[in-house]
Amino acid sequence: MQRFFDAIPRWLSSRVSIFIYLFLFFYLVVFPVVTSVVPAIVSWAPSSMTQLILGNYTNVLSALGASIAAGSGVVVHKKVTTIQKNHDAMKASLDSLHEKLDAMNSKDVDA
């Protein structure tokens, strides 16, 4: 079940998901505004029933915002994880170098 929940941000931030939300936004918000301003295309406006079925304006906008936020959160998390792994590897390398230098210095002092 946890794997399912971990996959949700990846699905919400997929290109297909964002395309669907952008399409709904234009069809439910932008297109009705344009059809109300241009009388020649008023018959192409989505009906009230269509708008009700496909969702209201705020849900579409919030879903789009959530998708973008989820995607950017996943990207940031991956980058932070990579930086932490690189830092740990560099710290281990530096500790090894200090041990070797200390060993060389102790040999020089003994000689």
Give per-residue pLDDT as tens, 51-86.
Answer: 777 776 667 667 777 777 777 777 788 889 999 999
- pLDDT: which is higher, 6 or 81: 81
Which range of residues forms the domain containing residue 62? 2-110
Closest CA to 22 of 33, 31, 9: 31
What is the rounded distance in angstroms from the CA atom of residue 29 to the CA atom of residue 92?
55
If one counts the domains in the chain, the total is: 1
